Amino acid sequence: MVKYSLNGPDATARQFRSLRKDQSENAAAISGAINPVLQYLTGGDGIAQSNLLWYMNSSQATTDYNPQPAPYDPGHDKDVSIVVPKSGKVLLTTQAWISIKVNAYSPDNPVSVNARTGILPVFWYDGQEVPELLPGSFGGCQLFASVWGINNSQQTGMSLSTTKYYSDLAVGERLNFRSRRFYWGWAQNATGGKIPLPQGSWYSMAIGTMTIQVMPVYSGGQGD
């Protein structure tokens, strides 16, 4: 058995390479899981999927210790649309495989290293400007991980989904949704104060096999 140090000079780069390989293999294993029946029900514009793997590694806290939007990338951030039914209601479902690994290294004083990432959709009507996901925004389909100690790590990954109900929409207008990725990383001391990540601490995250789907909600028996 080959043993590696968690805090050797090449430990961080080696762990990132190993984690990236694991994340890629896990995402590929669940790729293509969309239900064909749902594709039929929503039509071509009502469902979209990205089979690309997005990942990032960092040993720095995010700006102002707040969530940050990942830059827009049409390979990862997918659009769907729907003509709002007479009920003025739709359901938006987002599903993805998400993985996070956090590593806390602080020999003098224990710290917690925390990370959160996920997909928070934005929406707009035809003719409106496409909104940006703003710094500080988080929610939607997301995963959080945290580890405490002087030399400790934790990894978690799972397939997650969330559904949001929209009502009082403009009937007959085309409503668009775009999946947007966010990331968040920070450390905390023993009193709960947010601090920069100590040297040797880091976090890594990945999102793969993302599906976004919008469906009408009917209030009557005639498709209204």
The residue among 36 and 212 whose pLDDT is bigger is: 212
Model pTM score: 0.81
Handedness of CA 11, 115, 191, 198 (dihedral sign): positive
Give the residue from 82, 26, 67 showing the smallest Cα distance to 212.
82
The residue among 121 and 29 whose pLDDT is bigger is: 121
Provide the domain count of the chain: 1
Residue 194 lies in a domain: yes
DSSP state of 14: H
Residue 189 lies in a domain: yes
Give the residue from 139, 144, 170, 173 showing the smallest Cα distance to 157.
144
User: What percentage of residues in the chain have a pLDDT greater than 70?
Assistant: 78
- Its domain, for residue 105, covers 46-216
CA distance 210 to 111: 32
Residue 16 lies in a domain: no
Residue 158 lies in a domain: yes
Residue 23 lies in a domain: no
Q: Is 79 exposed, middle or buried (0-12, 13-18, 19+ CB in 10 A)?
A: middle
CA distance 210 to 34: 10
Residue-wise pLDDT for 61-82, tens only, equals 999 999 999 999 999 999 999 9
CA distance 181 to 141: 10
Residue 168 lies in a domain: yes
When mean pLDDT is compared across 27-31, 68-72, 153-157, 184-188, the lowest value belongs to 27-31
